[in-house]
Structure 1
Amino acid sequence: MRLTLLVALAIAVALSLGGWSARWAVEQSADVGTVTVGPWVANPFAGAPDADPYSRARLAKVGNLTLGIGEGILFRAEVDDSGRPLRRECNYAIAGTTPPARVFSLVPYTPNGALIEPAVGRPGWLTSNNLMRHEDNSFRIGIGPQAHAGNWLATSGHGPLILALALYDTPAAASSGVASLVLPGITLEGCSRG
């Protein structure tokens, strides 16, 4: 009986430590294969058939669908250009250009992956085919609860904000020089009180 209890205890300890160490390894390896361009972070090879096992495990855990190498690349921003965390109640300006792409989309999410509800009567995302641009093809997008003239992505509520910039059908997705890309900056313009 004592031997059975010791074996059961050893198996329980091994399974617990094994599960904990696997979870820790997946969470600590979040930066494996990632590329940072200003405040934007991407894992260009996460959707590749030969992606590293940690990227596959992270995608399986989160349940996120990712773009394949030939489809495009997804950048996420959780901070602005100064390194401050993005907040739903704050107003930001995204200004600059993107690498060549057939189309891109900009979508605000919560940290758990839910689309942030826009203000009444406003779309929850923007796409490049309906943006107003400057003569040099650059653009400026206002993001936040307060209305902006021109391009505006309305958000509502309070709490953290994650911006997802997806470039579809772009040569940048297959490029080994993803880190040398130029992406728009994210500048804090102010936060509402309350």
Structure 2
Amino acid sequence: MLKTPLMVAIALVIAFAGGLWSALATLDATSGLSAIRIGPWEAFPAAQTVNADPYARAHRARDGKLLYASAEGLSFTARTDAAGAPLDAACTYRLAGMAPPARLWTLFAAPQPDAPSVPAGRPTGLNSRMILKEADGSFAITLSAAARPGNWLALPASGRFTLVFDLFDTPAANSTGISGVPMPELTRLECGDD
């Protein structure tokens, strides 16, 4: 008598838990279908528009982030270097090249929630108006936990991080040919275990 309702209840619990787990696993495995990748850099130009795919909308809802509209700007993130290795604050990196055309750009390293923060007084973010550039507009920035001469962005002492490159008032935000946009190259110079 109780066997049938018990089996139905177990089936419903398994179905509900499995559905919830598969939805969360899918969100962790993908960032959305409209991602644009240029080397290690990834952007979602349609994420804040009505044309956003369901995965991008779910990410936006879960993260609670307010994204830039296409007329305001575009945010690129990098979780790996040019060789595909995950970004590690124990390493030293060089970001060099040209930035896409924009009125202003900013760059900062976002540590993982469990990683230590950057000590006070160190440059945790840079922008296009404060760095040294070559005559052709190219630049080179060193990303390291230890102070470096020239353009330097401080990293936490350890842990993984994501590099965030925000472009403001850029034609690249509403361009259909965004994959041809020049992005600076992110290369690993050395690591603490090298």
TM-score (norm 1): 0.89
| Residues in 1 aligned to 2:111 and 2:121: alpha-carbon distance in whole angstroms | 20
Distance verdict in 2 for CA 1:167–1:113, change over 3 Å: farther
1:156 maps to 2:156: yes
Letter in 2 for 1:32: L
1:147 maps to 2:147: yes
Letter in 2 for 1:14: A
| Residues in 2 aligned to 1:111 and 1:127: alpha-carbon distance in whole angstroms | 22
RMSD: 2.2
| Residues in 1 aligned to 2:140 and 2:75: alpha-carbon distance in whole angstroms | 20
1:169 maps to 2:169: yes
> How far apart are 1:112 and its partner, in Å?
4.1
| Residues in 1 aligned to 2:47 and 2:179: alpha-carbon distance in whole angstroms | 15
Letter in 2 for 1:87: D
| Residues in 2 aligned to 1:156 and 1:17: alpha-carbon distance in whole angstroms | 37
- Residue 165 of structure 1: SS of its match in structure 2? strand
TM-score (norm 2): 0.89
Using the TM superposition, name which of 1-10 and 11-20 deviates more.
1-10
User: How many residues are aligned here?
Assistant: 193
- Pairs within 5 Å for 1:20-99: 20-99=21-100
> How far apart are 1:58 and its partner, in Å?
1.5
Distance verdict in 2 for CA 1:135–1:148, change over 3 Å: same
Once the two structures are superposed, residues 8-37 of structure 1 have per-residue CA deviations (whole angstroms, 9 ceiling, x without a partner) of: 233222212221232233333325111111
- Residue 129 of structure 2: SS of its match in structure 1? helix
> How far apart are 1:120 and its partner, in Å?
3.8
- Residue 130 of structure 1: SS of its match in structure 2? coil
- Pairs within 5 Å for 1:180-191: 180-191=180-191
| Contact in 1 for aligned 2:111/2:156 (Cα 8 Å) | no
Using the TM superposition, name which of 44-53 and 127-136 deviates more.
44-53
> How far apart are 1:117 and its partner, in Å?
3.0
> How far apart are 1:6 and its partner, in Å?
3.3
| Residues in 2 aligned to 1:2 and 1:146: alpha-carbon distance in whole angstroms | 66
| Residues in 2 aligned to 1:17 and 1:191: alpha-carbon distance in whole angstroms | 41
What corresponds to 2:102 in structure 1?
Answer: 101
| Residues in 1 aligned to 2:192 and 2:153: alpha-carbon distance in whole angstroms | 16
| Contact in 1 for aligned 2:111/2:117 (Cα 8 Å) | no
Query: Percent identity among equivalent residues?
Result: 36
